[in-house]
Every structure is written in C-alpha cells, then in structure tokens.
Structure 1
Amino acid sequence: MNGLNKGIRKVEIALRWDPSPAGQPSTDLDLVAAPYTADDPHGDPAYVVHFDSRSPDGTITLSRDSQDGKGFGYDEVMILELDRLDRRYTRVVVGVVIQQHQAERTFSGVGNPGLRIREGYTVLAEDDFGGVPGATAATVAEFVRDGSGAWEFRSGVQGFEGDPAEFPRAMGAARRS
C-alpha cells in the first residue's frame, strides 16, 4: 500500500426513520454487515453482524440499535474498522433489513428513512431508499480490498423483495452495476 492511497479505514453507517404513527405497529429497521473471504467473495459470509451482535474480533460493531425509530437523529449506527479487519476478508457488504414482526412492511411504508455513510467527517453516501420502495431489505454499501490491501467503497442501494430472514445469504451475491 503506498502512502498516497490509504483507502477507506474506519466507516460509520447510520440509519434513521420516523416512529410509526400512534396506534400503528412499530417500525424496526436493522443494519446488517457481512464479511466475505477471498476464496468465496460472493458466497456465504464468514459471519453476520446484526442486532445484539458484533464481529468476533471487534472490528464491526453496532453501537446504537433502535427497535422503533424513536430517538434524535440517527437511530442505528454501525462502525466498520476496515483497517483492522484480517487480510483473509476481501469484501464486506452492508445492508438494511425491515423487521416483519408486527406488520408486513416495505421501504415505502417506512416514515422518512435515511442512510448516511461516512469516514470521519467526510460523507461517502446518503440515501432515502426512494429507489427501492417495494423492498423489504436492501444492500447499501460494499467495501472491497484492492490488490494493495486498501479498501474501496462502492455505493448504491439495491433492493431485496423476499423474506428478510433470507437476506443475509442473498446479500453477498455480485452487485448489479
């Protein structure tokens, strides 16, 4: 890795949404991250980090978890310390899942959803899920290690319209351009 291209090192992914209207079931969105190894970069993830969990080595942590969107600013926050991630991991995919506990819901039924991805104070991407209104989950970021070992960020929200329980297996598929 040369000194001019350190790549992406530590990223914050933040998610917000408005609480459900009074009398309606609560809305629960969850951030999900999955690292993939060099020998299977689009197959099964090495592990999955989501609510009530963190990576075994502490490089991916969910520092804020909301089950109803009640809070100020961003309700869910995940930190990825890519510069500390073991070299056997060459790809990390991050997604958002809408929990379907109390009511079936897609992004069109979530009040004022928002996503922000940043490194330090630099905003890498922002989105409102307007491009995937019928989805129950979506991939929101992909980080790929280049030949020098530096991490690159690939933005883009891609919807998933199946059972959210299946999403962690599906999120590793090759991203569409």
Structure 2
Amino acid sequence: MVKLVNGQKVELTKPSSMVTSIRLGLGWSISDHSTSHFDLDALALLVDETGNIRSKEHIVFYNQLTAFDGVVVLSNDNQNGAGTGDDEQLFIQLSYVPASIHKIVVAIVIHEADERGQTFGEVNDAFVRIVSDETKEEIACYELEKDFSNETAVVIGEVCRTEDGWTFKTSGKGIDGGINSVCQAYGMMKWPDSFFEKKKALTKTSPLYAKKPLF
C-alpha cells in the first residue's frame, strides 16, 4: 500500500495487473471542539477532456447514486459520520467508463455549511483509500493534512485516464461553497430546481450493496 502526499500519482491499472474496478473509501471525523451537527457528502464528477461536466447525468451524489448504469456507484448517504473506517464509498468500474470521460473528480462537501456556519477547519482526519475490488487489496491511501479553515468543500483527488490505463492523482484543493459550487468549477452552470435539495429521509438502497453484480 502506497501512502500518498498532495500532488502525487499512483497507477491503478498496469498491463500485469488484474485491476478493472476499484472502491474509494472516504472517511472523516469532526473536531472535539465542535458542538454542531455535521453532514458531509461524497461526490463524483465525470469530466470530459475539456475539464467540464457534460450534463447532470455526469454527477454522482446523494440524490443520484449511480451513473451510466452502474459504472460509478455511491453508497448511501451517511448523514452523521458515525462509526470508524469509511463513511461513504465510491465504486468505479474502470473497464466500463465511457471513452468520453477523461477523469472522475472526487470531492467531499459539507451540506448546508453556510447556513450552519461550518468549514473544513472543524473536520479532522479526512482521507481517501483506494481498494482493488478484485483482490480487496488496499492500493493507496491519502490523508488530507492541510487545514482548510475557510473552505466548505474539498476536491480530494482525480481518477484520470491515461494512454496505459488509469491513475489516481491527489488534489487537496479547497472550494468555498456547496455542491453547486463544485459543479460550477467544472463547467455545470445550470441544473433543475431542487436538484441538490437533500431528501430528509433516504430510504432507497444503494446499488453498491446489491446482491447481484452490476454487470
């Protein structure tokens, strides 16, 4: 397992490897000094070679748990961050990602941060770990060390297409704003009314935990 630093890359697929799908486990904890409830959300943006999202179907988040019939799947929305280990997971079928997708941007966003006066300055131990779905081996882990005292969203890294396969590049880039600000940073300026409005009771089962394979 490779422990990554900011700006570092790791190969996900090699000619000698059997990695065709990965799971990205994202986790975090809240500062002991915080007295308010935090709801952090994992987000995946499927971006083309121009660096933009082509449509709302290219976003995977709490209201839209999958893209391209299971190519990218998000686990159910963890609204309190309770427990140890991964708080949310992203599953990516690398071998099925459409050729139009150049990279998959992975971010963590504080829900309703402005309304609650919250920032990543109160978030500790944020990380992403990459696991081969075939072997269950942990390929790499990146722990976010920088104190984003004013930001309310952070781009953790990018799963990037290369001539030889796929790599993961760490970013550690802070963004001021919510999920809509992250989408705007990647070219999506319009979306349907209530598109990002979180449902109070999430009862649907994530396809990530389906008993049958997605393919």
TM tier relative to shorter chain: 0.7 to 0.9
Cα distance between partner residues in 2 of 1:13 and 1:45? 23
Structure 2 gaps of 5+ residues are: 1-12, 188-215
Aligned mate of 1:159, from 166, 170, 174: 174
Deviations 1:1-42 (A, max 9, x none): x9736696322222223367699331111111111223xx31
One of 170, 173, 185 as aligned partner of 1:170? 185
Aligned-partner residue type, residue 52 of structure 2: G
CA distance in 1, matches of 2:73, 2:95: 14
SS state at 1:113 partner: strand
CA distance in 1, matches of 2:148, 2:139: 21
1:95-106 alignment runs, 5 A limit? 95-100=107-112, 103-106=116-119
- In structure 2, the residue matched to 1:133 is 149
2:99 matches 1:90: no
CA contact (8 A) 1:108 1:130 kept: no
Consecutive unaligned residues of structure 1, counting only runs of 5 or more, are: 173-177
Q: Secondary structure at the match of 1:167?
A: helix
Query: Relative to 1, partners in 2 of residues 1:87 and 1:45: Cα closer, same or farther, differing over 3 Å?
Result: same
- Shift in CA distance, 87/19, structure 1 to aligned 2, threshold 3 Å: same
User: Structure 2-normalised TM-score?
Assistant: 0.66
Q: CA RMSD in A?
A: 3.0
- Answering whether residue 31 of structure 2 is matched by residue 15 of structure 1, we say no
Structure 1 residues 170 and 93: alpha-carbon distance in aligned structure 2, compared to 1, 3 A threshold: same
Q: Which residue number in structure 1 is paired with residue 52 of structure 2?
A: 43
User: C-alpha separation between the residues in 2 aligned to 1:3 and 1:25?
Assistant: 45
The 10-residue stretch of structure 1 (162-171 or 59-68) with the greater mean CA deviation from structure 2: 162-171
Structure 2 counterpart of 1:55, from 51, 67, 83: 67
The answer to whether the aligner puts 1:147 opposite 2:170 as a matched pair is no
- Pair 85,157 (structure 1): closer, same or farther in 2 beyond 3 Å: same
Change (3 A) 1:5 1:146: farther
